[in-house]
């Protein structure tokens, strides 16, 4: 069965909870052991001291280690990408920083795409170097085959333990070639005999429209605050991936204690039921909005993943790895920051707020808001200009959205 058919029931048995159709919220910190011997076995399994018998479920101990709401959510989330497993966190940043801390040690090197989400950029540039992790960038313009050759012949290639890409990138919608990164990972591991992992921030198109594990990625990272939640009412993060990566991540999560709460998991489980229908409608709406923006005389450029305005190579990569353009549009207006602010200040239906992927449309100014912390020369070199507005398209009527955007743009 397809994931959308399983989202209402998978992993939950009504008999567990007075035949309730819906899984209740297990708002409890701890669980009663049937006897002391069982408690001993649960701990031995949880800490990996014993292997589970075939089909044996890990016993419930304490909600930092596990909780039914967390487990059911993780089992359902993994279905969308046919991942071995998933780990859910209290924020997207918490998921992403735990991935970095799990797979990077002092002296290791991180190879990461640019631009990325502002919080990821901050962690990578301010925290990782302070613990002795080297950071090296590439962009959508980097020739990845040439980089592979260069790194396989250079000692820095042996230091690379994690390749991380955000694609499409926030906020420029640049797409990064996942197939080429899968090949780079394999080549480095073969050349140096190292364990190299590939993680992809899949927040913009996943898990419906892009499945990085098909291209050799070990993990997809998510801000679950965005499309996965879809209602702008919670903060959460997730990683889906291979059994080996998820086990390593969950082990560190147990000690950082940054798992999501039962209440947040319950809300996300509810949101997953409508994930595909919401994302489908949002993507359809975005196509209408992009065509309108392209036709407006005050819009000088639109940035939409795999759209012709991004160039032929970007279209090729997008077609190779993604099955929709998604619902995130950035666009430049004539007249720079002043014009962008005029538009943002005069939108009525579209709300002026950061975040994205929600049922309601949201717009913001990346240069001075989500990416305020990024150095100006870096922003300028990545065509992240002060004329740019980032728009997350919701599930409203598309004509109402276009009407709102038109009246604001017509003020310029
Ligand atoms: C929002 C976002 C994050 C951070 O997630 P939080 O849930 O806000 O911690 C990471 N990556 C991308 C692409 C995002 O949009």
CATH code of 394's domain: 3.90.1150.10
- Report residue 112: phi and psi, to 5°: -135, 140
- 99, 219 Cβ separation under 8 angstroms: yes
Asked whether residue 189 is domain-assigned, the answer is: yes
pLDDT band at 19 (very low <50, low <70, confident <90, very high): very high
**Ligand 1 within 6 A of 201 CB?**
yes
Residue 373 has pLDDT above 90, yes or no: no
- The pLDDT tens digits for 47-97 are 888 988 998 888 999 999 999 999 999 999 999 999 999 999 999 999 999
Residue 407 contacts residue 353 (beta carbons within 8 Å): no
Amino acid 105: pLDDT = 98
In a domain, 53, yes or no: no
pLDDT on residue 371: 92
pTM of the model: 0.97
Q: Which residues pair with 390 in a beta bridge?
A: 330, 364
Whether residue 97 is contained in a domain is answered as yes
Asked whether residue 91 falls in the same domain as residue 208, the answer is yes
327 and 350 co-located in one domain: yes
Domain identity same for 231 and 329: no
Residue 211, pLDDT > 90, answer yes
User: Ligand 1 centroid to 64 CA: how many Å?
Assistant: 22
User: CA nearest 393: which of 363, 353, 352?
Assistant: 363
Angle at the Cα of 313 (from 366 to 118), degrees rounded to 5?
20
**Within this chain, do residues 292 and 325 fall inside the same structural domain, yes or no?**
yes
197's enclosing H/E stretch is strand 197-201
Same domain (yes/no): 207, 296: no
Nearest CA owner, ligand 1 atom 6? 92
Between β-strands 109-113 and 160-166, what pairing exists: parallel, antiparallel or unpaired? parallel
Please give the distance, rounded to the nearest whole angstrom, from the Cα atom of residue 204 to the centre of ligand 1.
10
Which of 272, 307, 324 marks a domain boundary? Answer: 272
Shortest-distance atom of ligand 1 to CA 170: 13
Residues 225 and 117 in one domain: yes
Q: Cα of 116 to ligand 1 centre, how many Å?
A: 10
Q: What is the dihedral of CA 296, 297, 301, 305, to 10 degrees?
A: 10
241 and 179, same structural domain? yes
Q: Are residues 256 and 339 both part of a single domain?
A: no
The answer to whether the Cα torsion of 46, 101, 322, 213 is positive or negative is: negative
Q: What does the pLDDT average to over 134-163?
A: 97
Residue 247 scores a pLDDT above 90: yes
User: pLDDT digit string (tens) for 268-323?
Assistant: 999 999 999 999 999 999 999 999 999 999 999 999 999 999 999 999 999 999 99
Query: What pLDDT shows up at residue 24?
Result: 97
Residue 324 domain flag:
yes
For the CA of 355, the nearest atom of ligand 1: 1
Give the end of a domain, one of 272, 305, 324. Answer: 272
> Is 200 part of any domain?
yes
Same domain, yes or no, for 230 and 344?
no
What CATH number has the domain bearing residue 145?
A: 3.40.640.10
Which domain range does residue 69 map to? 3-28+63-272
Residues 268 and 120 in one domain: yes
- Residues 239 and 285 grouped into a single domain: no
Mind giving me the DSSP string for 315-362?
Answer: HHHHHHH-S---SEEEEEETTHHHHHHHHHHH-SSSEE-S--SSSS-E
As a whole number, the mean pLDDT across the chain is 97
Cα of 203 to ligand 1 centre, how many Å? 7
> How many domains is the chain partitioned into structurally?
2
pLDDT tens column, 249-273: 999 999 999 999 999 999 999 999 9
Is residue 34 one of the residues assigned to a domain? no
Residue 106 lies in a domain: yes
Element (H, E) at 219: strand 219-223
Is residue 264 situated within a structural domain?
yes
Of 239, 272, 305, the one marking the end of a domain is 272
Output the pLDDT for position 189. Answer: 98
Q: What DSSP designation does 126 have? A: I
pLDDT at 46 over 90: no
Share of the chain above pLDDT 90, in %: 95
Catalytic positions, written as ranges: 64, 117, 201, 226
Is residue 374 within 8 Å of residue 121, measured between CB atoms? Answer: yes
Residues 82 and 195 in one domain: yes
Take residue 240 and report the two structure tokens written for it.
């889906």
Whether 203 lines ligand 1, by a CB cut-off of 6 Å, is yes
- The answer to whether the CB of 117 is under 6 A from ligand 1 is yes
């Amino acid at each position: 069965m397809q994931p959308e058919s399983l989202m209402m029931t998978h992993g939950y048995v009504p008999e567990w909870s007075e035949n309730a159709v819906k899984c209740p919220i297990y708002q409890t910190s701890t669980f009663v052991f049937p006897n002391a011997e069982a408690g001993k076995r649960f701990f031995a399994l949880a800490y990996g001291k014993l292997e589970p018998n075939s089909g044996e479920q890990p016993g419930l101990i304490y909600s930092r280690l596990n909780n039914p709401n967390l487990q059911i959510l993780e089992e359902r989330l993994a279905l969308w990408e046919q991942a071995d497993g998933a780990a859910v966190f209290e924020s997207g940043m918490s998921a992403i920083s735990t991935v970095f801390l799990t797979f990077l040690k002092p002296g290791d090197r991180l190879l990461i795409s640019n631009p990325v989400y502002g919080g990821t950029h901050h962690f990578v540039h301010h925290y990782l170097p302070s613990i002795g992790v080297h950071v090296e960038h590439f962009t959508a313009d980097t020739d990845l085959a040439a980089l592979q050759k260069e790194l396989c012949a250079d000692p820095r290639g042996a230091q690379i333990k994690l390749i991380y890409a955000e694609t499409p990138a926030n906020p420029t919608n640049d797409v990064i070639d996942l197939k080429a990164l899968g090949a780079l990972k394999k080549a480095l591991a073969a050349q140096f005999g190292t364990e190299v992992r590939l993680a992809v921030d899949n927040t913009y198109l996943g898990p419906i429209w892009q499945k990085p594990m098909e291209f050799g990625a070990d993990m997809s990272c998510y801000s679950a605050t965005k499309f996965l939640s879809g209602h702008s009412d919670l903060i959460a993060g997730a990683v889906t991936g291979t059994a080996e990566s998820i086990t390593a991540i969950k082990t560190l999560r147990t000690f950082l204690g940054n798992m999501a709460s039962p209440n947040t998991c319950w809300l996300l489980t509810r949101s997953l039921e409508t994930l595909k229908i919401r994302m489908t409608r949002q993507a359809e709406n975005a196509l209408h909005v992009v065509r309108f923006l392209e036709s407006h005389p005050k819009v000088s450029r639109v940035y939409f993943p795999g759209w012709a305005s991004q160039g032929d190579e970007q279209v090729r990569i997008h077609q190779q790895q993604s099955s929709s353009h998604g619902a995130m549009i950035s666009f430049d207006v004539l007249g720079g920051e002043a014009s962008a602010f005029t538009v943002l200040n005069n939108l009525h239906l579209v709300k002026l707020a950061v975040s994205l992927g929600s049922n309601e449309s949201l717009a913001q100014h990346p240069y001075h808001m989500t990416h305020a912390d990024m150095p100006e020369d870096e922003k300028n070199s990545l065509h992240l200009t002060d004329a740019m507005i980032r728009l997350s398209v919701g599930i409203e009527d598309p004509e109402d959205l276009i009407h709102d955007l038109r009246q604001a743009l017509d003020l310029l």
